[in-house]
Amino acid sequence: VELWQDGAWSALEPLDPPVAQHLSLVDRQGRLLVIGGSDEATTNLVRALARPGGAWEDLAPLWSAREDLAGGLLPDGRIAVFGGRPVHGSPDALPVREVELLGLDGTWELGNRQVQARYEGVTVPLSDGRIAVIGGHARSKVIQDVSVYSHLPKPKRVTVEDTAPPEEPPEAPTEAPTP
């Protein structure tokens, strides 16, 4: 692991075990995360490096081992992990469709499944907080589409009844005084 800083490269603490075909990104706390990947086999390991010169810390593992995965940082600070391959080096393995979300509390939860399962896709953050997942492979075929992932719930459909003020119960009839 190397760091480019102030115009020069410096070596950081090596990963043990080493890993390739992983996802690397920086989380909201500024930690370098290494997620999934493979060495001899596909892994679900998640590791964090809080500062240069520090030691790697194991975080909660992914629910499913995957290599060639993609991911991004959501506006609320969670990490979204997309796609990947569950079997090391197998172009015929079915890509992973599940999206996993790493919460600020360090636990994983499942997000909305991808429409197109893929591995070797590329992610791009969009200005509205969504993440575009571009291209990649599904088995041996090249994917030429773009999927857009939103962490936001679908908006509730507002109807006229939803916006009308609540009806008040009718007042009890009063009897007119008799003369």
pLDDT at 165: 47
DSSP 44-67: --EEEE-STTS-EEE-PPPSS--B
Cα dist from 165 to 68, 155, 159, 160, whole Å = 53, 21, 12, 10
Answer whether the bond into residue 17 is a cis peptide, omega within 30°: yes
Write out residues in the chain with pLDDT < 50, as ranges: 154-166
pLDDT at 170: 53
What pLDDT shows up at residue 150? 78
Find residue 70's DSSP bridge partners: 82
pLDDT of amino acid 39: 85
What does the DSSP assignment read for 117-171? --BS-EEEE-TTS-EEEE--EETTEEP--EEEE--SPPPPPP-HHHHSPPPPPPP
- pLDDT for res 158: 46
Query: Tell me: the pLDDT tens digits for 135-146?
Result: 998 877 888 888
Report how far residue 130's alpha carbon sits from residue 149's, in angstroms, rounded to the nearest whole number: 6
User: What residues contact residue 56 under an 8 Å CB cut-off, 6+ apart?
Assistant: 13, 15, 16, 34, 47, 48, 49
Tell me the pTM.
Answer: 0.79
Residue 143: the pLDDT is: 86
